[in-house]
Amino acid sequence: MAEKTITADERRDALVEKIFADSIAFMEILGVYLGDKLGLYAAMSDGAWMSAPELASRAKVNERYAREWLEFQAVSGVLDAECDSVEDDSVEDDSAEPFGRRYRIPEGHDEVLLDRDSLAYVTPLAKQMVGLARPLPALIEAMKSGGGVSFPEYGEDIREGIEFGNRAMFVNLMGEWISAVPDLHERLSSSHSPARVADIGCGSGWSSISIAKAYPNARVDGLDLDGDSIEAARRNAASEGLEDRLSFQLRDASAPELSGTYDFAIAIECIHDMSRPVEALRAMRSLVGESGTVVVVDERVGDEFVAPGEDVDRLYYGFSVLHCLPVGMSEKPSAETGTVMRTDTLGGYAREAGFSEVEVLPVENDMWRFYRLR
């Protein structure tokens, strides 16, 4: 059967629908951001029904705003409203008294909205979205001039959004990931000669903390270019009681003076952000010498450009234009990589840095690909 050709009018209508639906989704993400940032979900964490005045008093926000936010959340399917069926007789009464209507976090949604240890905790994505938008005027200028936007210009929301967006994966899966490299697992487990680990671009430190927890004999040094991230990492290590085996330094991973002797160097979701990724990989190679292990964890993007693309590529192209490419271009010279760093691109950087082989490790993960550089 001949394929049906899509007319220009149909294409027009489909794009109108898409942009309309995307606009709703955009505002709903901002609604989740407000719930998280203002502690509105936290105030409802016991799962009990709650009216707008009750929420306002618990979360210390204005009653009228609390009511509007609750109605918005219920209409968009994030919260349950006590009477959400039009057949229900009490709806009329409730509409007459909107401040009397009650809401709750449905079972299941609590994990997504509030449980920071759960792999289902995707609420930090809302923080990331708001963080991406914060320096838009600077991005507009950068896109004209070829300049960049530095990581600190994105502010607290992007930093915390990344921190808590990744934390649950580290806390739950780090041991499993490292076990996929048996010789590395064995080395990190040694009690005779405690292993030393360098966590490159460690952000707020949860990857370092999770390695230290999975391997109680190992010592981990994290380094990152962002001062606020390093301060957060130090606070996090202290709150976990791990300061004796963890240290965090404000350092550029691609600086030639980077030194030390390590058994394992890992760089998670940061090589594509770097202005000078080859220099960073070269430094990692030299940190571990001949016998150590280098692992890079980065985005699981497709092997080639496909348009329209899969969700993972759509997500990472969004991050790329709005954040990672401008961050990488904020220092010159720059490799101008962007979030969509394909396996081939990393392979080229690795060869330039002196590695002879890039092996993709057998780690199942929808978002990230794990590479061992030999």
Report how far residue 192's alpha carbon sits from residue 194's, in angstroms, rounded to the nearest whole number. Answer: 6
Question: Is the torsion defined by CA of 59, 61, 62, 64 positive or negative?
Answer: negative
- Cβ-based nearer residue to ligand SAM, 51 or 166: 166
Closer of 66 and 225 to ligand SAM (Cβ) = 225
CB of 229 to ligand SAM, least distance (A): 5
**Distance set, CA 146 to CA 140, 267, 330, 331 (Å):** 10, 27, 9, 11
For ligand SAM, the closer CB: 51 or 229: 229
Identify any residues that bridge with 104 across adjacent strands, giving them in sequence order: 80
C-alpha torsion angle, residues 111, 113, 115, 121 (rounded to 10): 80
Q: How far is CA 142 from the centre of its chain?
A: 23
State whether residue 52 is helix, strand or coil: helix
Comparing CB distances to ligand SAM, the nearer of 51 and 207 is 207
When CB distances to ligand SAM are compared, the closest residue is 203
Q: For 195, phi and psi rounded to 5 degrees?
A: -75, 150
Instruction: For residue 219, list its beta bridge partners.
Output: 196
- Give the shortest CB-64-to-ligand SAM separation in angstroms: 38
Instruction: Give Cβ neighbours of residue 9 (< 8 Å, ≥ 6 apart).
Output: none
- Give the contacts of 21 (CB within 8 A, at least 6 positions apart): none
CB of 178 to ligand SAM, least distance (A): 15
Measured from the CB of residue 146, what is the shortest distance to ligand SAM in angstroms? 19
Please state the closest distance from residue 254 (CB atom) to ligand SAM, in A. 5
Rounded to a whole number of angstroms, the minimum distance from the CB of residue 256 to ligand SAM is 12
Cβ count near 44 (within 10 Å): 25
Which residues contact ligand SAM (rule: CB under 6 A)? 151, 162, 166, 201-203, 207, 223-226, 229, 252-254, 268-270, 273-274, 280
CA distances from 186 to 34, 193, 207, 209, 360 (A): 45, 11, 19, 19, 20
- 201 vs 253: CA distance, rounded Å: 7
Looking at beta carbons only, is 44 or 184 nearer to ligand SAM? 184
Rank residues 28 and 228 by Cβ distance to ligand SAM and give the closer one: 228
Decide: helix, strand or coil at residue 118: coil
Looking at residue 250, what DSSP letter applies? Answer: E
Q: Which is nearer to ligand SAM, 73 or 210 (CB)?
A: 210
Nearer to ligand SAM, 105 or 158 (CB): 158
Question: Whole-number minimum distance, CB 250 to ligand SAM, in Å?
Answer: 9
Closest approach of ligand SAM to the CB of residue 125, in Å: 13
